[in-house]
Every structure is written in structure tokens, then in C-alpha cells.
Chains A and B, each alone.
Chain A
Amino acid sequence: MVFEKDLNLDATELRLGLPGSSEESIRISNKRALPDMNDDSGVAAAKKCDQETAPPTKAQVVGWPPIRSYRKNSLQTKKTEAETGGMYVKVSMDGAPYLRKIDLKVYKGYPELFKAMEDMFKFKVGKYSEREGYNGSEFVPTYEDKDGDWMLVGDVPWEMFINACKRLRIVRGSEARGLGCVV
């Protein structure tokens, strides 16, 4: 088997690299595999070599495995959720300059959730009552459920809440009035 040593792969390596361009570095790591392969004329040995040279966290080769982005995007969202086991939702607070994200699975119930939110945003949730909600609090926790409605946090059982909650929003007490709860 004649291996084309003059494939100018070295030249290719030089040419492909715009330093700092991440796509190029992906391609370069890919190209380096070829000279290793060609240099070992024994194919089985070459495979071992390839496995040794494969870095532990693999740089993703562009377009490989051949999966359409349509499908890839669908998998990525699921993977982040499934792998970490987390249920990450965005948390915003009126007046805060940026949003946060928390993992609802981490908390065992409302008290822990509220403590985490209070720590994160430096406010106090206040007392919850079924009849009056968070009457008297400066800030009130609300959430958007799967139907797109904004609900008061605390009305439904915890398990039901974490399955329904899409995002959290801490609103000023004055605005929270009028938020009903769905039976």
C-alpha cells in the first residue's frame, strides 16, 4: 500500500490555522489523526495509536457524527436536563439587572426554595397564607406554568409545582395582588 507522504498534510496544517479560530482548531485536531494513521502501516496498531492520541474530552469534529442540527438541538436540550438530572428554570426579579437560573430538583420543598431565592436576590419572601397569598411582603414569588399562566408560588403541592414551573419571577408585592390560583 503506497501512502502518499507528499499529501502536504503539513502544509495543510499550516494553512488551515488562523490562530484562535476555534473551528480551525477542531479541524486541525482532526487532520493530525491522519498522519498518525498513515505512519503506522499496520492498521490494527494504528487503531490503538488512534485511541491513545484521542484526548479524554474529545474536540467535536464538525459535522460528525452525521446528525441533522434539527435532531441535535432536540437531543441537546434533553441531554442537559436528563444528564444533570436537573430542572433548571430562569429566575428573574423586578429591578434586578440580570436573570439567574436554579435547579428545582435540588430543593425538597418550598421553604428551601424560598431560602435559596432570598439568598440569591437579597430579599425576604414573607409569610404565605392560602387565603391571602403573601400579603404584606415586599416581594412575592410567582411562576409561569405550562399553560403560560402566571401563578403564585406555594398554592399547589411541591411535586406538582416543579413539574409545572417553566420560570420564576419575583414581583413587587404591589403588583402581585390579583394573581389567582388555579384549582
Chain B
Amino acid sequence: MQKKMAYSFPDEVLEQVFSFIQSDKDRNAVSLVCKSWDEIERWCRRKVFIGNCYAVSPRMVIRRFPEVRSIKLKGKPHFADFNLVPDGWGGYVLPWIAEMAGAYPWLEEIRLKRMVVTDESLELIAKSFKNFKVLVLFSCEGFSTDGLAAIAASCKNLRELDLRESEVDDLSGHWLAHFPETCTSLVSLNISCLRSDEVSFSALERLVGRCPNLRSLRLNRAVTLDKIANILRRAPQLVDFGTGYYAAELQPDVFSNLAGAFSSCKELKSLSGFWDVVPAYLPALYSICPRLTSLNLSYATIQSPDLIKLVSHCPRLQRLLVLDYVEDSGLEELASSCKDLQELRVFPSDPFGAEPNVSLTEQGLVAVSLGCPKLRSVLYFCRRMSNAALVTIAQNRPNLTRFRLCIIEPKTPDYLTLEPLDVGFGAIVEHCKDLRRLSLSGLLTDHVFEYIGTYGKKLEMLSVAFAGDSDLGLHHVLSGCESLRKLEIRDCPFGDKALLANAAKLETMRSLWMSSCAVSFGACKLLGQKMPKLNVEVIDETEPPDSRPESCPVDKLYIYRSVAGPRFDMPPFVWTMDEAVRILH
């Protein structure tokens, strides 16, 4: 005799419980428990994150989650940032907006990364969502200030408008004047990417002045230094501020006005902008430096002594972005002054010069790894590296979660021993057990991939360039890295064998990018045929892949899992390998 116990809570109770579960992963897990949980969960899911806009169709998302309020979409693969993905490849948001306009009238938030956004899309957003609050366009393109004017004019409760690093056709600064006088809800405004020299400054000032909740304001280059004080005095509650052009002739009254304005911002913790800096104006920041946790000086061509002076005033700094003008000496100062540092990014001031123009070497990074116990995330461009330095860094900082090293000249060996840097990067993956993201550079053989496959168990994203000797390298990674989601490879001698042997692995990943490698067209077709849940895209701007023998390598290959099947918005230079071995185009 079996007693059936009914363990059922009413749906409302479960919904209430689920509302405390915010992370996508946990929500997905909840929906797998049983059918009724799946049903309840899908009706109360408010936020959806889609890491690849082609992995699923808008209709499928809407069908499963009918009450979404917030959506985040990503389009082009990461290597699009470096011009490796030809224009017109895809990533259009309009189909999504069009579907959501009907299905989600109460949509509040749209966050997009690397997508093509047109003025038409922006106008549709402005028209369709009555309670629209947040628009974040990160590294997007395809729209102009006309589209922004539509958003400004129509979205009565707009809280966030963030255009970070997008390419905007800046037709006129007057779009800012389209924010109605009744708009007082802005919390975050980032227009730093707008390039024209015009900005409707009076409209900006008035807007800032009437939004008491404005916490984050990032201006563009057009805003001159003398105007900063006016803005800051209207928004002393700012937590994050991006200056415009931080250069002017040194005038004592302008300086003291600026210094006074900064010191009145008691909540200011984060600074960015700083295009064209005149060092004499940096002391105007000294009053807020002790509170600063984030500083982005990566556009500021100021030299090491000025940087050192500034940084030594910022003991609470957690995040620093800077050009290599900081030099080893500046990084040593950073290591001794900023014990809370968690993230460091050092960008090259002269990336295409043949000779080093600054004294920035592996020593700087070693110093920071030694001096900053909380350092977790590194992006470092330099011109020389050694295995010894990498081993030291790995031993000093086993808590690293992101490590991206770019040695500017491809295939540069250890400068001391002339050996490959396999052992050094091997130490990184071995010691940094929580490493989630890794970018390799320098001279590397298949050995480094053996280390990565063996130790990189938490690795989610790996970027590889000009490395490896054979398919064995790729095989180590695909077979060993259990958590791998994104793999991007360029100019490596990886071919068919590793890819075909690990075809099933590709379904567990978001995407794989391979360009200028050795994968043959025949292998692509085979993969497309055998793996219906993968979209295998061959990208070639010169000629169709089937106009050559099958054994010829393809130029660029982008493979991603999808439940939506092949897409139909491909340009002429992209071919999808269909399972019926038709080449869709």
C-alpha cells in the first residue's frame, strides 16, 4: 500500500519564494525540478539574459516567458571588437523589438551589447513601451542622435540612458533638448561616445539640474573643462562622473572653481573621461581622491610622474584603467599605495610602433601582483614577458579570476630564456583555481594547451592568437576545460581533427570562433550535417567556400549552439552549413 503525500504549496506561495531567486542559473535550475515548477517559474520570470541573439528566436522567448520586464541581448562575437567580423554580419535588434512591442507592453529594460540598432528600432522602443526605464547600448552601432531624440521625447520614466562605447551618427547635439521639462527621473546618463563637437550644453545643464536622483553622468569630449564646475554644482549627489575634455590654459579662477565643485561632491567614487588632460588641473581632484574606488585614465596621455602623484592620493582605489605611460615606476607606486586594488587594465599608448616608447615591462605587473592582495582582474599590454615573471604572478595571486595578457608582438618568447611561455601560463592556470577568463599571447606551443586543459577547470572564456603547433592543442582545450563557454581563436594551426573529435563539446558551449586557422570547408559541412543543434557559419568575403576544393581551409568560422535553427538574415559573405548539407545562403 502506498501513501501518496501531497506536498503542494499553492502557486502563489511558490511564486513568492521564486521571487527571491534572481540569478538566471538558479532560475533555470528551478524550472527543471518538475513540470509545475517550470510552469510557475516561467510566468514569474521577469529578467531574461540571452548571450547570443541567434541562439533562440524572439517568439520562443516570448512563448516561454510571457511576463518579462527586462531583457539583455548580445549579438556579435567578441572578436568583432577588433574588426575581425565584417560589417553586415548580423546582430540586428529590430526583429526582437518588433516582437516584444506586441508581447511585452510593460517592458522596462533593454540592455544590448554588440548589436546593430537602427533609429527605427529606437523609435519603436519609444512608441511601444509605456513604462520604459532603462536603455543600455554597449558597443552598439547603426543609430543616430535622431533615434536618441525619440527615446528622450517619449520615455516619461526614463532612468538610464547609457551609450557606452557605441558608434553613434552624431547629427546634432540638440537631441538632448528633447527630454521634456517634466523628465526628472534620470539616474544614469552616459553620452561619452558622442563624437561631435556640439552638445546642447544648456539643455544638458537643465536636465542635470532637474534630476535629483542622477547618480551617474558621463559626458563627452565636447564638454570643455570650464563647464564641468557648472554641471557638478547642479549634481553634487553624483557617484560616478565622466569628464569631457580635461584641458585648458591654466587659470587660477577656473582651477579653484573646479576644485570647489569637485569637493562639493561628497558621494563621488568613480571618475572617467579625461580626454586631453592638462596635468596642472589634476590637483583639482585631490579632495575627492581619498574616496575614489574607480578611476579610468585610459585616454589620458599624462606621464608617469603625474600619474604617480594622482594615484598616491587614492588609497581606496579598487579599479584602475590607465595607459602604459604609467610605466613600471607608476605601477610600483600603485602597488604600495592602493592595497584595495581589484582590477587593473594597462593599455598601450603606441601599439603599432616597432619600438617600445615607454618603460613598461613585466616588472610593473609583478609589482602589482605582489603588492595588491585583492587583485582579481588583469588586462595588460606590454612588449616583453618571462616565464619567471608569470610564475611569480601566479604564485602571488592565486585569487586571479581574469587574466588577459597581450604581448604586442605575436609569438614573442620569454625574453630571458627565449623559450615559449608555456610554463608561465601553465602556472597561471595551475595556481589560479578560480580563473574564469584567460587571454594568451607570446610564443606558445601545444604544451600550454595541455596545461590549460588539465588545470583550467573553471575557465569559461579563452582567447588564443598565433599559438600552438597542431590539432593536439585545440583538443586539449576542448576535452579538458569543463566550464568552457566561449572560445575564440585566430591564426593558429588548428584543423579538422580536434574539432570533429570534440563536436559534442560545442553543444555545451555558447560559441566558438576560429579565423585564419586550418579548418577545411569539408569539415565545416560535416559538422553542420552531424550537429543539427549547432549553427556552423562560414564567413568569407573573397569568394564562396564551395568554389574551392573541400580540403581548403575556410577564412573565418563561427559555430554556436542554437535552438532557433539557421538564421535568415545573413549577408552574402556568410554561409550556414545546414544539416541537409544544403549550403544556406
Contacts and interface: CB of A to CB of B under 8 A. Distances in A.
Interface stretch (B28-36, B38-46, B179-187, B489-497): B489-497
Nearest to A45: B418
A121 to B, nearest CB: 26
Interface in A1-51: 1-4, 7-9, 11-12, 15-16, 18, 21, 24, 27, 30-31, 33-34, 37-38, 43-44, 47, 50
B104 to A, nearest CB: 31
A97 interface: no
11 contacts: A7-B495, A9-B518, A11-B552, A11-B553, A12-B518, A47-B413, A62-B84, A64-B82, A66-B81, A67-B348, A67-B351
Given A2-B470, A4-B493, A38-B493, A75 B349 contact: yes
Contact of A74 (B275, B350, B408, B466): B275
B410 interface: yes
B309 interface: no
Nearest to B471: A4
A16 B542 contact: yes
A72 B469 CA distance: 31
Interface string B399-416: 000000010101111000
| Main DSSP-derived SS at the B contact region | loop
B553 A146 contact: no
| Main DSSP-derived SS at the A contact region | helix
A47 B347 CA distance: 25
Contacts of B276: 78
B551 interface: yes
Contact of A4 (B79, B491, B495): B495
A65 B349 CA distance: 12
Contact of B518 (A8, A75, A146): A8
B490 A7 contact: no
A146 B224 contact: yes
Contact of B516 (A27, A72, A78): A27
B424 interface: no
B552 A37 contact: no
A96 interface: no
A1 B422 CA distance: 15
Given A38-B493, A66-B406, A12 B299 contact: no
B193 A70 contact: yes
B476 to A, nearest CB: 13
B552 A160 contact: no
Nearest to B408: A65
A82 interface: yes
A1 B493 CA distance: 13
A60 B352 contact: yes
A67 B82 contact: yes
A30 B466 CA distance: 10
A1 B516 contact: no
